[in-house]
């Protein structure tokens, strides 16, 4: 009788044992996913320890075999073809799992804080321009696949996250990052191939939360002490551990990033933080400097609204100081680019509505910088030098295409003398007849006889600034001085 009881117990246990033997996959490995084309893409998961695992892909019939480790973890790298699909992937450790509707294309990770997180449908009472039409058309873009990483924090690196791949639809697109979705739309249209977007973002988070502890310490040896003033989502490395590391096994093309508002006031260390984070992410993915990193200029906004001030103090140039830091990061981060938003801000809304423009300009950077497309300038004009003579300033801009508008007053320029008092300035694009190739702007004011400094759009709220290149991309804010303590209108 005792023997029968034991057998019954074993039989009862057997289904659980078999179920436990079935291979377990991370959230990123699922039906409907997009694998990076023309590379060795990782497929990984967990099985029983020392278990034979075979992965068979349908695009070429290749079978890849491995043995799980003592902890049950296993990984194979499969050779992916050119863009296409749908395909299937069979994963067999004795109990087969089939992944269906797998596409091959381009895969990007998008991250940052609330302006990256802002969904196509908008936030409450904060709309996204053109969102209704975009959502209605979403089902026609079934080659776009979306993975939204659920919010999580951790004090140590995690091996998995929560989320699932979804085909572009009214429902999935409406809740996905607007900047990232518009980016995907343009990449899909331009390349004519599937696009996979992995979203991992969290509003009101500082960059240090997205960095490894080691990377953050390399910039600021005392950074861990700042945890005392921050909540869980802003602890050093808390989002890196929970929302970046679990994604790092997935083979991707590159990164897009929209963050910085929560680091306002810390502009002096922000370029180094960006460079350290990007280097760390690239190392984590094993992609090196060839992995592109494109990011978004912080848009104009009134940071003198009491709830948005830094240390409770008014500062009329708090935003452009951060933009200046973002521009400095370009020289520290190889294979990077920044999308200009000088023309898209809102004085009263920290989440500007023109995410379609943001996505378009990020895609333009990728199409020219990563995919080698030509025929168009991908960046707005950038300040390079200034010369003062005859009571005027001559500002040289770097731009692939010519400056615009011609023979029309430029708005947003200010000029100052030794007294450091800035006055609104007259400004025009310099040209000789029909020769507009100088890439210079002439700036002056009758109030300033001997100018020593020029600023453009160097305010929290810029007003109707209008300097662009010929294709319409706006110039980045700049200053020729280093007077951090000077108000944009008057000296202290």
pTM of the predicted structure, to 2 decimals: 0.94
pLDDT at 463: 85
104-369: CATH superfamily: SGNH hydrolase (3.40.50.1110)
DSSP state letter for 232:
G
Q: What is the CATH number of domain 23-103?
A: 2.60.40
User: Which pLDDT value is given to residue 5?
Assistant: 41
Q: Mean of the pLDDT values across residues 278-282?
A: 98
pLDDT over 50 (residue 140): yes
Between these two residues, 469 and 17, which has the higher pLDDT value?
469
Whether residue 488 has pLDDT greater than 90: no
Cα Rg of the chain, angstroms: 26
The C-alpha atoms of residue 221 and residue 344 are separated, in whole angstroms, by 37
Burial class (CB in 10 A: 0-12, 13-18, 19+), 338: buried
Count H helices and E strands in the chain, helices first.
10, 23
- pLDDT level of residue 485 (50, 70, 90 thresholds): confident
What per-residue confidence (pLDDT) applies to 17? 36
343-366: b (≥16 Cβ within 10 Å) or e:
bbbbeeebbbbbbbbbbbbbbbbb
pLDDT at position 10 over 60: no
DSSP 438-450: T-EEEEEBTTBSS
Is the pLDDT score of 366 beyond 60? yes
pLDDT of residue 155: 97
């Amino acid at each position: 009788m005792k023997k029968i009881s034991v057998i019954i117990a074993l039989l009862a246990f057997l289904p659980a044992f078999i179920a436990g033997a079935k291979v377990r996959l991370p959230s990123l490995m699922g039906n409907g996913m997009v694998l990076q084309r023309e590379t060795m893409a990782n497929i990984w998961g967990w099985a029983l320890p020392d278990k034979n695992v075979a992965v068979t892909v349908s695009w070429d019939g290749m079978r890849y075999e491995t043995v799980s480790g003592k902890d049950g973890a296993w990984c194979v790298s499969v050779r992916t073809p050119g863009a296409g699909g749908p395909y299937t992937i069979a994963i067999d450790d004795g109990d087969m799992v089939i992944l269906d509707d797998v596409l091959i294309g381009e895969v990007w990770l998008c991250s940052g804080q609330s302006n990256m997180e802002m969904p196509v449908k908008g936030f409450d009472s904060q709309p996204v321009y053109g969102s209704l039409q975009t959502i209605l058309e979403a089902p026609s873009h079934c080659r776009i696949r979306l993975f939204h990483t659920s919010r999580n924090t951790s004090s140590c690196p995690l091996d998995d996250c929560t989320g699932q791949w979804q085909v572009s639809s009214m429902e999935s697109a409406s809740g996905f990052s607007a900047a990232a979705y518009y980016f995907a739309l343009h990449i899909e249209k331009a390349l004519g191939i599937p696009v996979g977007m992995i979203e991992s973002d969290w509003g009101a988070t500082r960059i240090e939360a997205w960095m490894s502890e080691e990377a953050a310490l390399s910039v600021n040896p005392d950074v861990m002490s700042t945890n005392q003033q921050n909540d869980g989502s802003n602890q050093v490395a808390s989002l890196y551990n929970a929302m970046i590391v679990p994604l790092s096994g997935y083979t991707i093309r590159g990164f897009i990033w929209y963050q910085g508002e929560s680091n306002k006031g810390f502009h002096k260390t922000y370029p180094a933080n960006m460079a350290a984070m990007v280097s760390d992410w690239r190392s984590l993915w094993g992609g090196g400097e060839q992995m592109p990193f494109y990011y978004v200029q912080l848009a104009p906004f009134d940071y003198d609204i009491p709830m948005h001030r830094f240390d409770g103090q008014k500062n009329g140039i708090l935003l452009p100081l951060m933009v200046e830091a973002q521009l400095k990061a370009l020289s520290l981060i190889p294979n990077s680019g920044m999308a200009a938003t000088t023309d898209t801000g809102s004085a009263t809304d920290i989440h500007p509505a023109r995410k379609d423009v943001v996505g378009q300009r990020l895609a333009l950077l990728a199409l020219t910088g990563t995919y080698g497309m030509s025929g168009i300038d991908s960046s707005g004009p950038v300040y390079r030098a200034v010369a003062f003579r005859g009571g005027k300033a001559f500002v040289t801009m770097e731009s692939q295409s010519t400056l615009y508008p011609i023979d029309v007053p430029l708005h947003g320029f200010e000029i100052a003398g030794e007294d450091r008092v800035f006055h609104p300035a007259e400004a025009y694009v310099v040209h000789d007849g029909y020769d507009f190739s100088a890439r210079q702007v002439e700036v002056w004011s009758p109030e300033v006889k001997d100018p020593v400094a020029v600023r453009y759009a160097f305010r929290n709220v810029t007003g109707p600034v209008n300097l662009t290149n010929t294709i319409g991309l706006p110039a980045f804010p700049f200053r020729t001085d280093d007077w951090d303590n000077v108000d944009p209108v008057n000296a202290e």
